[in-house]
Amino acid sequence: MINFNKLWKTKFNYSKIKREIKELNFNEINYSEYFIIDIRGRQEFMEGHLNGSINIPLFDLKRNISKYISNYNKKILVYCKSGIRSKKAVYILENLGYTNVYNLKGGLDNI
């Protein structure tokens, strides 16, 4: 059986992500400034999400982000339940060339 967690750990350098990631607290968000992406699964999104956010699950992010954002300097805020998956999303988006990507610190659990 494949251990997907192990694959993620070997693919991503978590110490690098933790050091370089830009994070915002919920009370710091100016909704009009950010394109907000919920990177949880569709079912999680349907159960509740931040107003004005769109749903692009983490596993679809790399393939679908260009459909929504063509400006690589656009401010993007990503979030998930706890902040773990959204940290991976920040790393993916930055590797694609997006320059203003922020993580919601602690995810929805921190609101």
Task: Give the active site residues.
Answer: 80
CB 55 within 8 A of CB 78: no
Q: Strand, coil or helix: what is 16?
A: helix
Edge-to-edge strand list for the sheet holding 35-38: 23-24, 100-104, 75-79, 35-38, 54-55
Specify the residue for token string 């203003």: 100
